[in-house]
Amino acid sequence: MNGLTCQKFFVPEPVRLQRPGNSLTALASYRARTLAGTARVPGDKSISHRALIFGALSVGETVVTGLSRGDDVARTETALRHLGAEIQAPESDTRVVFGRGVGGLCEPASILDLGNSGTGVRLLMGVVASHRLAAYFTGDASLSTRPMDRVILPLRRMGADISARDGNLLPLIVAGAHSPVPIEYVLPVPSAQVKSAILLAALNTPGRTSVVEPVPSRDHTERMLAHFGAAITEGEDSDGRRHIAVEGEAELTGRAVAVPGDPSSAAFLVAAALAVPGSRVTIENVGTNPLRTGFFDTLREMGADIELSNVRAIGGESVADVTVRHGGLVGIEVPPERAPTMIDEYPVLAALAAGAEGRTVMRGVRELRVKESDRISAMTAGLRACGVTVDEFGDGLAVTGLGGPVPGAATVDARLDHRVAMSFLVLGMAAREPVVVDHAETIATSFPEFIDLITVLGAEVARAPRPRNASK
């Protein structure tokens, strides 16, 4: 503990971002003539969560610029305020965090409601697990169905007392360990969220905690640990497994963090430009961390014209401007080992594959079944409703492309999943007939600027009457 006295502050409720319509929104996407221009996507959501958390755990001032303005990150910000961090907002995408230091957070007087944010809840569970406080975590209907056992198990091994609903689901209570113990933990499946939760808990745990990854996952946490001054080591063993170790009882120092554009958000603009004939779009300032660019690698193998320019490094992260031109795509078999580098992009890849020539096979992505929705099932149902042949597997799907525009003329249920919603809106921009997406309001959780940006580039997306029936 750093000796700071915790006080109870008034904390405002999470920011309610403006959505495309009311709380139940259907949007119609129409065939676009062409998409052209330059755009900037919002700050990377993964890095935004982490920047706020590390700022709260540091001593001194952390200035975060380019912060994601989605509801997910706003939930993490509010939770950190409840935990005692002072956060100022001089601009909509800038935060100044006055941290309390590792071990200095306060027991919250209110429930920590993380809405739809799986990243926010899992990372904050890690933070609380080694603090001498208890916190009650909850989320929305979608998040409350997502498994928390994969993060509960290692945190319990470190000494945290966690009580969860049957099935290890939210809501749950984390009582931090009074005497946390370091562990070595081998991840059973690749997960940056689980890895990050353990490493965050390690910061306030005496000794050396290590995580072993059989397959590398995104490394934003490791980069930020080094940036804020933690003692972190990384290496590989003789089996090619990646080892990340952190020395506990760390002292972090506030830093400046410039958040690059989110590659998972940029993916939707890239996909739209590839799908709509005659299009040429440049997205500036996109994060190109090599553990996040599997989508670009896959598209190039399918024949996409993608160019990276103005390549540079900002705050330990690689950044570039991405220019994409329309062109015909061919189906491929996506290497299953690539999944951790593009797990969020599979829904929009499936939408693109519908217009490609031949069959695109995506396996090794069982993780998609426990995201905001069962994304394999959601994409299969929606694509079939739009006239596309899809084979569904336990760990993936195969899309038989039509070599041109899909029929469309369907209503798709996004199942309260922002990435499914945006994927079908992209599909509609190249379909013969409009595609209506029900429950599209969840786009605001990660990319509230999507409709405005894609419209400026030339797409037509409009409110639609809420349908009585949609793909299920």
Please list the active-site residues.
344
Distance between CA atoms of residues 6 and 106, nearest Å: 5
List beta partners, residue 349: none
CB atoms within 10 A of CB 426: 29
SS3 4: coil
Two structure tokens written together for 257: 């963090």
Distance between CA atoms of residues 40 and 260, nearest Å: 10
Distance between CA atoms of residues 77 and 79, nearest Å: 5
Distance between CA atoms of residues 247 and 163, nearest Å: 28
User: Do the Cβ atoms of 385 and 471 come closer than 8 Å?
Assistant: yes
DSSP state of 12: P
First to last CA, the chain: 50
Distance between CA atoms of residues 165 and 65, nearest Å: 37
CB atoms within 10 A of CB 2: 12
SS3 263: helix
Strand locations in 15-168 (E): 26-30, 36-40, 61-65, 86-91, 94-98, 112-113, 134-138, 161-165
CB atoms within 10 A of CB 436: 23
Distance between CA atoms of residues 25 and 164, nearest Å: 32
CB atoms within 10 A of CB 343: 23
Question: 407 Cβ partners below 8 Å, 6+ apart?
Answer: 386, 387, 431, 432, 433
Q: Is 311 exposed, middle or buried (0-12, 13-18, 19+ CB in 10 A)?
A: exposed
Question: Which ranges constitute the DSSP H helices of 5-58?
Answer: 45-56
Count of helix runs (H) and strand runs (E) in the chain: 12, 24
